[in-house]
Amino acid sequence: MKLGTCYYPEHWPEHLWAEDALRMAETGLKQVRIGEFAWSRIEPEPGRFDWGWLDRAIDTLHAAGLEVILGTPTATPPKWLVDKMPDMVSIDAEGRPRGFGSRRHYCFSHRGYRSEAARITRAVAERYGRHPKRLICLT
Residue 53 lies in a domain: yes
The residue segments making up the domain with residue 55 are 4-130
Q: Using one digit for the tens of pLDDT, what is the confidence trace for 65-76? A: 999 999 999 999
Residue 138 lies in a domain: no
Residue 135 lies in a domain: no
Closest listed residue to residue 73, CA positions, set 18, 122, 4, 112: 122
**Number of folded domains that form the chain:** 1
Band (132; pLDDT cuts 50, 70, 90):
confident
Is the model's pLDDT at 139 over the cut of 60? no
Position 135 scores a pLDDT of 66
Q: Using one digit for the tens of pLDDT, what is the confidence trace for 11-50? A: 999 999 999 999 999 999 999 999 999 999 999 999 999 9
Mean pLDDT of 3-15: 94
Which domain CATH number covers 80? 3.20.20.80
% the chain with pLDDT above 90: 73
Q: Is 58 helix (H, G, I), strand (E, B) or coil?
A: helix
Is the model's pLDDT at 108 over the cut of 90? no
Mean pLDDT of 45-61: 97
**Residue 112 to residue 89: CA distance in whole angstroms:** 11
Residue 71 lies in a domain: yes
Q: Are 42 and 17 in contact (CB under 8 A)?
A: no
Strand spans (E) along 1-139? 4-6, 31-34, 67-70, 136-137
